[in-house]
Amino acid sequence: MKYVSYATYATDKTKIAAHRPAHREYLSMLLNQGKLVAAGPFTDDSGGLFIYEVDSAEAASALVAGDPFSINGVYQKFEIKPWKLVFSNTELLRTAG
């Protein structure tokens, strides 16, 4: 099942930048394990949206808890909700990396 996490970041941009490489490495690992569907920050860097493929909200919470952004206090708050994919355009979801 898919779960969405909507996270709000700390306002300290230096803190965000310092932990972003480890955060992205962690997300890459989840992607390779088939646990991350999509992820990315809001363009104003106030937070991010993450879509996980896991069996429960508790499993999604555990993934958030293991994220370097969570461990190092970048996430100020987050909300996890089950999410049902109805439509998708994979061409529009492609990223430049």
The residue among 80, 20, 29 whose CA lies nearest residue 50 is 80
pLDDT of 84-96, one tens digit each?
A: 999 988 888 776 5
Can you give the pTM of this predicted structure?
A: 0.91
Domain ranges of the chain: 2-86
Q: Are 3 and 81 in contact (CB under 8 A)?
A: yes
Q: Which residue has the tokens 């994919």?
A: 85
- Contact between 90 and 38 under an 8 Å Cβ cutoff? The reply is no
Number of CB atoms found within 10 A of residue 27's CB:
21
Query: Tens digits of per-residue pLDDT, 57-81?
Result: 999 999 999 999 999 999 999 999 9
Q: For residue 34, what pLDDT is reported? A: 97
pLDDT on residue 5: 97
How many Cα atoms within 13 Å fall on the side-chain side of residue 91? 0
- Greatest CA separation for the chain: 38
Q: What is the pLDDT of residues 17-51, one digit of tens each?
A: 999 999 999 999 999 999 999 999 999 999 999 99
- CATH class for domain 2-86? alpha beta
